[in-house]
Structure 1
Amino acid sequence: MIDIAQHLAAIHRAVGTGPAEGGGEEVRVVLRRTYRAPVADVWDALTDPDRVKRWFYPLSGDLRAGGSFQLEGNAGGEIRTCEPPRTFTVTFGGPTSVVEVLLSPGGDEATDLQLTHTVPIEMARSEAGALFVGPGWDGALLGLALFLQGEVVDDPIAAANSPEVREFSRGSIDAWVAVVEASGTAPADEIAAGRQMAEAQFTPAE
């Protein structure tokens, strides 16, 4: 049994806007979670294809800075930076969609993970754009947590569609809606549309 409430509460979520590196404005979606595992182990679980496929998607590519990656049945991109075992930055599904993962040591052999996903404001429209990606990243952080706890499944994709994970995703969508509403930057109609899209993508009707 998955402790859904505990896993939902374990993730810190934030969304904001700011200047983009190349000019213009971008939306930043930020997630943080602490794992009871050493940094080296978490890094390996994030970057070793033999381990990634056991909790996320099959991973292939030239996995080094300047190389590229592909998640089977999902996004691919370029590897912009890679500094083991601390951080990597990749494009994710397009050149202006950028994901940065940062690991830092926590207490008692724990690891603090921060994931930041940025896209141009033109793509996200407003901070309601967090609903397009936030629940998906919540699910990924859940899968990683279960894997690091030794709860390995035969088919992570099937597990992601289980009733328990679907319930987790519903709670995740509610949490992201609350974050976007608290930001005060997204109109109600965009939040409603974002929720509808997130429900269709992450909790589709059986």
Structure 2
Amino acid sequence: MVDVNAQIDAVTRTLRTEEIDGEPTRIQTIAQDYPADIADVWDATTTADRIARWFLPVTGDLRLGGRYQLIGNAGGEILACSPPADGSAEYRITWEFGGGVTWVTVRLTSIGQDSTRFTLEHSARVADVPEQLWETYGPGATGVGWDQAVLGLALHFGTQDSAISPEEGQAWALSDEGAAFTRAAADRWAEAHIADGAEPATAARTADATFAFYTGRTVED
């Protein structure tokens, strides 16, 4: 059993819009601390066998300049890779899915001998995201997916008194407990949306649409 409230509260979510190379860009950030040293978290997030244990199976050449492919999901190129040194580490990849290209940066920061902060930034140029998609779902469309990923990593590192394999994750997401998790994550992304300037009614509407998309349930269910 997943402690939904504890997991939701353990995660930090932000959304900001800024210009990058002259292009308005939305940057979603999600972060969580894990009870493991930075070398262990780096290994869990950069090696194929461990990525498959908490996220998705991945193939490809997982090194600088190589290409990766998450089975049934995104693929892309590894643009930068800085292994742990002096308490920090980072890699940057393209996130190529459905004909579009966005960018993901993962940063690790040692916050103690056996604790590491995992921070993921997902950047997308405003012009590259279909306007109707953003107006319908807002940041929750990708944000809830990243919430599921950091939950998987939390389970991997034992921060929850539970175990759900990636293969079991889809069924869990459609359970009552999984739906409660999705509802809470969508609402937190709505809060980030408002902090970035969205009207509260708009953020609430997109959160409802995101919840329905991920669970097949309506607000009334």
- Alignment TM-score > 0.5, same fold: yes
SS of the residue corresponding to residue 106 of structure 1 reads: strand
C-alpha distance in 2, partners of 1:25/1:178?
A: 21
Residue number in structure 1 paired with 2:195: 182
Separation in structure 1 between the aligned mates of residue 77 and residue 199 of structure 2, nearest angstrom: 30
Distance 1:6 1:71, change over 3 A: same
Aligned residue in 2 for 1:132: 141
For residues 129-173 of structure 1, the C-alpha deviation after alignment (integer angstroms, 9 at most, x for no partner) is 3222111101100000101118554x4133243123332111100
Contact 2:11 2:30 in 1 (8 A): yes
Q: How well do the aligned residues superpose, as a CA RMSD in angstroms? A: 2.3
Give the match's secondary structure for 1:52: helix
How far residue 99 of structure 1 moved from its aligned partner, in angstroms, is 0.3
Counterpart secondary structure, 1:175: helix
Q: 1:159 aligned to 2:159? A: no
**Does structure 2 retain, via aligned residues, the 8 Å contact 1:18–1:27?**
yes
Q: Map 1:187-206 onto structure 2 (within 5 A).
A: 188-189=201-202, 191=203, 194-205=206-217
Which residue number in structure 1 is paired with residue 108 of structure 2? 103
Work out which of the residue numbers 113, 117, 120 in structure 1 matches 2:122: 117
**Larger mean Cα displacement after TM superposition, 41-50 or 164-173:** 164-173
Q: Which runs of 5+ in 2 are unaligned?
A: none
Q: Is the 8 A contact 1:63 1:69 kept in 2?
A: yes
**1:79 — aligned with what?**
78
Q: Which residue of 2 aligns with 1:51?
A: 50
Give the AA of the match of 1:7.
Q
Question: Could you tell me the TM-score, scaled by structure 2's length?
Answer: 0.83
Structure in which a larger fraction of residues adopt strand: 2
User: 1:198: Cα distance to partner?
Assistant: 1.7
Contact 1:56 1:157 in 2 (8 A): no
Structure 1 residue 7, shift from structure 2 partner: 0.4
Local SS of the residue matching 1:69: strand
The SS at the match of 2:93 is strand
- Aligned positions of 1:25-44 closer than 5 A: 25-44=24-43
SS at match of 1:57: coil
Q: Would the aligned equivalents of 2:155 and 2:163 in 1 still touch at CA under 8 Å?
A: yes
Select which of 88, 92, 108 maps to 1:89. 92
* Structure 1 gaps, min length 5: none
Contact 1:55 1:152 in 2 (8 A): no
Distance in 2 (alpha carbons) for counterparts of 1:78 and 1:69: 6
Q: Distance in 2 between matches of 1:51 and 1:113?
A: 16
Which residue is 2:5 aligned to?
5
Q: Indicate if the aligned counterparts of 1:54 and 1:152 stay in contact, CA closer than 8 A.
A: no
Q: TM-score, normalised by structure 1?
A: 0.88
Indicate the percent of aligned positions where both proteins have the same amino acid: 36
Cα distance between partner residues in 2 of 1:5 and 1:193: 22
